[in-house]
Amino acid sequence: MKTIKKSLLILALLVSGNSLAQTNATAASPVDCNGVTHDLFAEMDAGKIIVIGWTMPCATCASPLLDVHNAVLNFAISDPGVVEYWLTDDFANTDCNSIQGWCSTNGITNATIFSSAELSMFDYGTTGMPKVVVVGCTDHKVYYNRNDSPTGAGVTDAVNQALSDIAASCQLGNDELNKSKFDLSCYPNPANSQIIVSFNMATAENVSLEVLDLNGAILKRMDVEKSKVLEGNVLVDVKDLKGGVYLLKIVSKDEAEVIKFQVIN
């Protein structure tokens, strides 16, 4: 009986267009069609809500993805700088010029466009055209996952729920966005030419340090070899950065931590 019920549930979800998928987003660092690298988790850790749409591109994809686009555009008025629309080719086998032309033709003007295998539909269950997911919060939660017939109304409800979660608990304080084993810090903060990155690890393993802007674009990246990790201090040059707030991220093979720091010129 349990097997029959499970089979019926799967069938119902597939017929409705919903995708059986994990409840959390998958880490990704895709490069957009302007050559900018984005860090999905860093953007969510910074309080962003990301709406990802996949297209072939095809004629039947246009209307649903435009509806989603318009829903996201509404949040640009009510919650400026919070909700981003990422639109990508389904299997990263269509060039950027073609996707950008398709978007322009169909009125999708406020999206970051990708043709990157880093953004995989398979990370969010079954495939479908078009497919849309909404992800957000520091726990990297999936709020919406729809195949074939995504709607602006569905995305609006999902984004509002994510905004509510951010306001309640999942957006942490300015000094620390995601506690982990590293106990990451940097000084001086604010800085004008360089920062000393400090972290503590019980065992030596290779890690990387990244400096990102608040849109998740990776501005600097450096690898720290295992032999240097236990020293726990790394010098990072920031004198080429404009004044403002940035994210500092440390990544090991199984964990990451992000904090904010400020540059003054």
pLDDT in tens for each of the 265 residues of the chain? 434 433 433 333 333 344 444 588 999 999 999 998 899 998 888 889 999 999 998 899 999 999 999 999 998 777 878 899 999 999 999 999 999 999 999 999 989 999 999 999 999 988 889 999 999 988 899 999 999 999 999 999 999 999 888 877 664 443 444 445 677 888 888 888 999 998 877 777 888 888 988 777 889 998 888 777 777 788 899 999 988 888 888 888 767 777 888 888 7
Which tokens is 164 given? 């509510």
Which tokens is 120 given? 């995989």
Backbone angles phi, psi at 15, to 5 degrees: -65, -40
CB distance 215 to 230 below 8 Å: no
Domain that holds residue 230: 185-263
Shared-domain flag, residues 199 and 144: no
The answer to whether the pTM exceeds 0.75 is no
Domains of the chain: total:
2
Of the residues 114, 139, 170, which one is the last residue of a structural domain? 170
Of the residues 129, 145, 170, which one is the last residue of a structural domain? 170
Q: For helices 152-165 and 59-78, give the axis angle rounded to 10 degrees.
A: 40
CATH of the domain at 53: 3.40.30.10
